[in-house]
Chain A
């Protein structure tokens, strides 16, 4: 089946640093989504992207929908300890079922 390749798998950074992670696929997606999961909780939607080339921000987070529609990236600027968690990308292929395909996740740790 379709797969999303998310990288890096994990990051350990210093507070204040910027972070970048990305997802690539061999399939074309109509929608890209970025989620954050904190320990013991379900993922929470951070940013949704609907159009190729779209660049969207949510506070210190910025995400872009790749021009080829096969990739997306998420940047976090000036990281803080509460940014710790697992970040997932997800793509939606265009069916009317709402099914999403998720990347493997990027685990982010921030050292104060």
Chain B
């Protein structure tokens, strides 16, 4: 049981290039999220999905797009990378557990992206 798998683990992009980060989970979770982590700023939500075919904006969505065509996959796209998008990107998934609504995310191990 792999949990949440992110690919790639590392990437260097030139300004203006595009790329897609892939997140795959094998826990049949409904809810998936993309966060970015920057020093001293914690984790900030980029986009999220509450189910297959749905997506919504988070706290810092500008410059990113997402798709959730299959329940197990959540893709994060950068159409035209900028140096400000240099960060570590984390995908997470969860499912509501009865009345307690655990919201205990399972995180992937991250993608370290550098835009030069």
- CB contacts (< 8 Å) of A74 on chain B: these are none
Binding stretch for chain A, among B14-22, B66-74, B98-106: B98-106
- CB contacts (< 8 Å) of A88 on chain B: these are 42-43
- A43 vs B110: C-alpha distance when bound (angstroms): 10
Total number of residue pairs linking A and B with CB closer than 8 Å: 68
- CB contacts (< 8 Å) of A44 on chain B: these are 107
Whether the Cβ atoms of B90 and A42 lie closer than 8 Å is yes
Interface residues contributed by chain A, number (CB under 8 Å): 27
- Contact string, A34-52, partner B, CB cutoff 8 A, digits 1/0? 0000001111110010100
Whether the Cβ atoms of B42 and A104 lie closer than 8 Å is yes
Whether the Cβ atoms of A45 and B105 lie closer than 8 Å is yes
- A42 vs B103: C-alpha distance when bound (angstroms): 16
Whose C-beta in chain A lies nearest to the C-beta of B31?
Answer: A98
Q: Which residues of A contact B (CB under 8 A)?
A: 1, 4, 6, 9, 30-31, 33, 40-45, 48, 50, 88, 92, 96-105
